[in-house]
Structure 1
Amino acid sequence: MTAPAIPAHLLPAGCPRAPAEEYDTALLDLDGVVYAGPAAVPHAVDALHLAGRAGMRLAYVTNNASRTPGDVADHLTRLGVPTGAHDVVTSAQAAARLVAEQVPAGSAVLVVGGRGLDEAVREHGLRPVGSLADGPAAVVQGFDPGVGWPQLAEASYAVAAGLPWIASNTDLSLPTDRGRAPGNGALVGVVRAATGAQPQVAGKPMPVMHRESMLRTAARRPLVVGDRLDTDIAGAVNGGVDSLLVLTGVTTARQLLAAGPGERPTYVAADLRGLLAPHPAVTAAAAEEAFRCGGWLARVADGRLLLEGHGPDPVDALRALCAAAWTALDRTGAVPALDPAAAAAEALLRTP
């Protein structure tokens, strides 16, 4: 019996060549992908060097608006990845462009954030100010660890007065070397709670950020690389480009298996070494809703996700599980019961 072809939406997909050879530019997220806090993610530096040698341009696209592109480039260079400011695209830059399209040239803009947002606003000929009393034409808000009640209060006064409100991003959490900390989305939530207003959002997953990335990198065939389904992968889906999810940041195997169509990556890898090797294809088995990858078989039976087999690469098990879980979700509208298959996949991924 011939196995049916897998519809295109049932990715992860196979890639017969290493993605570093297949795509001209990697649009890499930073936090949780390249580094966590001040330290590099394991294997990231070597993988990026090898991807560059294979001919892939490396560009860094981050929702973190607190630092300037130069600051980010310096950090990457210190980690052993030589980078220039022109290789970095931030949500602050996307937000500043969105502001500049809505206010007169030279306008004052109330900036709630750090140096990265200040610099991006100035790049568009606008003037950062810190109070509603300074006569701003708009409010732009981005993450900075120094943002406190006085800045959030000024933002609330300005938003309540009817000024356009642009948020660099709405990520609720920010990965650090100590764990997850509140992100810009948590701070945006304070202003939202105080005013009842909703901001325009510039960062991932919104098309504004994808546009900014394409304008600044001139990528012809980009691959988005990230660790978050709701920003990196959803942003790639919104932009109509392929994506690679790495499991070094916030997304767990369980969350990936429950992903809806708008948050499904093209490829999955344990870390950035996924740029350097071909990705095996997932194939449909003869049994209904059963899928193979490597030596693993995943299927859904009686509403439960099941995994069997063995193989040298635990990510192959996760790829097969994704195909089975996503097929069932699309067919029934409900996520199949993930235990114990998800637990088994997570245990395999933790095995050295």
Structure 2
Amino acid sequence: MHATLAELAALVGGRLVGDGGVVIRGAAPLSDAGPGDITLIDRAERISVLSGIRAAAVVMPNWVPVNGLPAIQVDDVHRAFTVIVSRFRPVRTSGRIGVSPLAVVSAKARIGNDVDIYPYATIADDVQIGDGSTIHSGVHILPGTKIGENVTIFPNCVLYENTVVGPRCVIHACTVIGAYGFGYHCHDGAHHLSAQLGNVVLGADVEIGSSTTIDRGTYGSTIIGDGTKIDNQVIIAHNCHIGRHNLLCAQVGIAGSTTTGDYVTMAGQVGIRDHVRIGSGAVLGAMAGVMNDVPENARMVGIPATPEREQMVKLASLGKLPEMRRQLKHLQATVERLTRQLAEMQIDGVASGDSRETQQAKT
């Protein structure tokens, strides 16, 4: 599979710079690109790297100067490069299979048009699956679940009863939606599970990585807003309301009844306590420990999470602690020396005064 650089420029709507007849046989990042490959740079600081690579051409931003290598200049490098990579490495699909005879589908389930259900999936009573959706092998969908159109659920996921999945959602392997929340009360010396009567509602265009868990609400719904993207191994506890277009990176843990606004970003391993409100546009740095409400558009880092600028000042101060300790010890020694000298001067002064008084008495 190959294409000329001019053909690729037309494919992505970019501006061709240099020889459009260059034949491109693959696409790869800078570190892996070889002869015949097209690569990419996304910022001016990397332009100097191009002189040492073997790639045949490069995709680059419109505002980055060309260095002589044949190029395609575009507004959005990563979007264009994704299209080019897909041209050379299209996503492999097995084609439509319909409902496999090896799947277990309840007679009470309502299956839409053009739905694929792979072997060993189980679809329980009163489940609804919208048109064009794909349910892979080993998926278990419990009673009353409603799945919208063009949803893809990858192998070995579990959707507990009454889960609602909006259109065009993607749920990756081994994710569990709607399990009981971790809520207990102590009675007669033992821990008893609290009511777990709610469900989980996923909005439209939600994407969830593998091995993520989203617990059902206690009485109402745990809600994930439209367009939110959730990475692998994320835990969202019961009663949380996650806003629209949030980005939750790997191993984020959100305790119960937390609410987020829209366009919130949480970096890896962020931990959030229960009943916290995160304002729209907030950014939480990696491993931030959020104990209190976060204002809109705030940037928070550290444990406990504090404003980024404040935390940077603290970190800068930490680097100065050894020198500050040496200075403090020097100051302590100086104070002790001066204190001793002052005490000696006071003693000498008292002694001199006593001597004068004695001589006056004799005279």
- Output the TM-score relative to the length of structure 2: 0.23
Higher RCO (CA-CA < 8 Å; seq separation 6+): 1
Give 1 or 2: higher strand fraction. 2
Give 1 or 2: higher helix fraction. 1
- Output the TM-score relative to the length of structure 1: 0.23
The structure with the largest alpha-carbon Rg is 2
